[in-house]
């Protein structure tokens, strides 16, 4: 069993570093999700209770930080989708998750725009995490179709296009909850099997 003396104290320092990194990511997601392009790494450091040097030690550039934040958000959403794979009502699981993604969209889009502004691109960890989320949505869609809750003549590309479009509309036009719900009701009606109309 090693001691702090044997490891030179690296164990506790590594734990502190992990804690700092997680706190920075959590705060950055909130700050950039609300402030978008106008938010700053200085604000993240202040709210996370660390120095700006600590932020840049973990994330050398603002773009690297934002990509990590976006990837974390996509991973969390994918995990939420995967938790619904065994749902007893696949239709409710699919439509509920669709609604969740649209509700989540304004913050995600703000972070994505801040990433582009900071010189980031569509590749890397965030893109891989986004692809994982898309695959998970595809599984929910197939399960809902097998359960007869979604028409069987639609495929993931067009469903994802609807998801992106409604997310953009919700974020860009600042839809109120009532209008957003009516918009989703129209979309969901279009995805329902013909016999259910």
Which pair of structure tokens corresponds to residue 187?
């979309």
Least confident of 17-21, 101-105, 188-192: 17-21
In a shared domain, residues 46 and 108? no
pLDDT at 172: 82
Quick count: other Cβ atoms within 10 Å of Cβ 118? 17
In a shared domain, residues 93 and 50? no
pLDDT at 6: 40
* pLDDT > 70? residue 10: no
In a shared domain, residues 54 and 88? no
Looking at per-residue confidence, does 4 or 92 come out higher? 92
Position 170 confidence tier, pLDDT thresholds 50, 70, 90: confident
In a shared domain, residues 52 and 79? no
Position 3 confidence tier, pLDDT thresholds 50, 70, 90: very low
In a shared domain, residues 148 and 166? yes
CATH number for the domain spanning 52: value is 1.10.10.60
> How large is the greatest C-alpha to C-alpha distance in the chain, in angstroms?
72
In a shared domain, residues 83 and 94? yes
Domain holding 80, by residue range, is 62-196
In a shared domain, residues 32 and 113? no
Position 4 confidence tier, pLDDT thresholds 50, 70, 90: very low
In a shared domain, residues 96 and 36? no
Domain boundary among 42, 60, 78: 60
Cβ-based neighbours of 73, under 8 Å, separated by 6 or more: 29, 104, 107, 108, 111, 129
Please tell me the total count of domains within the chain.
Answer: 2
The chain-wide mean pLDDT, for the chain, equals 88
Position 2 confidence tier, pLDDT thresholds 50, 70, 90: very low
In a shared domain, residues 75 and 39? no
Domain boundary among 24, 41, 60: 60
pLDDT at 130: 92
Q: State the SS3 of the chain.
A: CCCCCCCCCHHHHHHHHHHHHHHHHHHHHHHHHHHHHHCCHHHHHHHHCCCHHHHHHHCCCHHHHHHHHHHHHHHHHHHHHHCCCCCCCHHHHHHHHHHHHHHHHHHHHHHHHHHHHCCCCCCHHHHHHHHHHHHHHHHHHHHHHHCCCCCCCCCHHHHHHHHHHHHHHHHHCCCCHHHHHHHHHHHHHHHCCHHHC
In a shared domain, residues 80 and 56? no
CATH number for the domain spanning 160: value is 1.10.357.10
Domain boundary among 11, 27, 60: 60
Which pair of structure tokens corresponds to residue 126?
């965030």
In a shared domain, residues 36 and 73? no
pLDDT over 90 for what percent of the chain?
63
* pLDDT > 90? residue 156: yes
In a shared domain, residues 54 and 100? no
């Amino acid at each position: 069993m090693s001691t702090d003396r044997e490891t030179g104290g690296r164990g506790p320092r590594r734990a502190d570093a992990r804690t700092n990194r997680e706190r920075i990511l959590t705060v950055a997601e909130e700050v950039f999700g609300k402030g978008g392009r106008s938010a700053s790494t200085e604000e993240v450091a202040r709210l996370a209770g660390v120095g700006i040097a600590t932020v840049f030690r973990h994330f050398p550039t603002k773009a690297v930080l934002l990509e990590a934040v976006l990837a974390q958000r996509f991973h969390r959403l994918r995990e939420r989708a995967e938790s619904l794979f065994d749902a007893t009502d696949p239709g409710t699981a699919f439509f509920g998750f669709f609604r969740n993604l649209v509700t989540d969209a304004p913050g995600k889009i703000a972070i994505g725009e801040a990433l582009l502004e900071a010189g980031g691109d569509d590749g890397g960890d965030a893109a891989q995490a986004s692809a994982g989320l898309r695959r998970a949505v595809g599984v929910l869609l197939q399960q809902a179709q097998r359960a007869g809750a979604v028409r069987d003549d639609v495929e993931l590309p067009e469903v994802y296009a609807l998801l992106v479009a409604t997310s953009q509309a919700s974020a860009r036009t600042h839809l109120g909850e009532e209008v957003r719900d009516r918009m989703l009701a129209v979309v969901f009606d279009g995805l329902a099997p013909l016999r259910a109309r």
